[in-house]
A and B are shown apart, each in its own frame.
Chain A
């Protein structure tokens, strides 16, 4: 069963990575350690650290406004690109894309 789940994850990630404009994808585990990435090491570590911190901040903001609410997604658009963060069970899926269609 672990085998097929892994395949599904791989396929999903490949699908995202093949998407037009996607610059990179990073998965960060519950301890903030990047466990998968398509970017170089130093970039990955930088993104993982900073986005984890920001995501935790965003989550606190959401909960401070309403304790019954929770963060489901974060989109950070900047001049150069867009960072999408999908938090799940303390893991983070980070996708960096160039939204120039």
Chain B
């Protein structure tokens, strides 16, 4: 699967000497090894810890097993109606009391030799309440024993008559239907052991069955200790979640599995496990090799509705192992029509003028890097472009299938565009004992539904444009900011104060004072007033001539007391006359401003 392992097909090289090939291969590795390794690493990480399901992607719709057709027409109001309809149906079902009759033909186990003729069989009914997914760990399944009976072990097929056999009947009611949605029959066979059991049989058993090794060991131990009888069991589902009867009338032969005395609960902790690809026996061999039980099943009153729809009354083979098989078959069926498709990957590499290429032909729509099976060619190309941006992909249509040119993307920007809080843990912290805490705002794209053009392969004929490469999906302040002057990280609480909010930094105030003080031939009174006025102008940021009268009044308002205390009022008047000389103010302004000061002096003297 790795590109580097691929057979090398060379196109324009004149003489494929081994040296040449090797050098060529070197170059190939140089170009493609690193990104390929990265993508393979990501792939295996995704298998263990998936971030998302591919089927949720718009170009992978076909992978989704659930059609969303109903969503289009769905209305919230319709929920009540549908529930009501269902309820009605339940009521109808409830009126019919189904009585289930199971007649046992016998227990068949050719491997286990017992001297006992009868085995105990017990039928339990398993009711699973599907409350919530969360509570799946703690099973809410209830087991009710329907009855016990003895059945013959390995009876001759002729001798077994359906009528005479032991029989258990049970009346199904839907009284607790609200809790227990699905019901299953659990057949438990207890087979007493013969006392001197030859070991060899057990060993043979070990080899012939392809069971998990753990089971094997335990199985062996049980037989060695000879204390407990062998326990077999099988579960059959009667009603599924939707209250549909799956079990029709008919004769059943059920393969029994070994039951451990301490069996793990049926609902395990949810985890991602890959299904083990157990190369099982041939479908029908199973019934010969493994212990089975045969019984007749009959619904007595008003058989289930689903029976008719299923339309098959033949004995049903319910096989645990067939589950995986079936799905595999389905997959195979799906991919068969595209078997003729040929996809040619052309890996182009080399430096500058000398471009080289290697090709590889694939016949399926799996991604060569993450082996994701894409449903369509469009999906595959879209996946390649979006999930493997370290490469450039260009699609060249051909008669059969197509050609995908792969080059290394030199423009790839691997910078981090995630949440800065994931990197700098201390800048944002949501929970504090002292109350709510401000965090740096981060934008996540949760739902992104742009207007997409229809799926067409033409978009892959040309290389990606800059705009699509540099798309910045996560926007906002996705980084840690620093204080300008101290270079210290900025906390989320501090983000709102702008260090430049003030027009004049403090040092500038000091500077102007120092500069005025440096004059040798300016007298003290003038200096004091000039400093005061400069600081006033700098604080208030006056910019226009027309503001100066206001500035004068404000100056008296704010510094009037200081002027009086420092005995600068004549200097202030001179300053006002100076402004008049520079044609900034009218004499009225001078008079008014000075009057303000005099009034202030007056009020101070009175007080």
**A is bound by B:** no
Q: Mark A residues whose CB is within 8 Å of B.
A: none
Measured CB to CB, the residues of B under 8 A from A are none
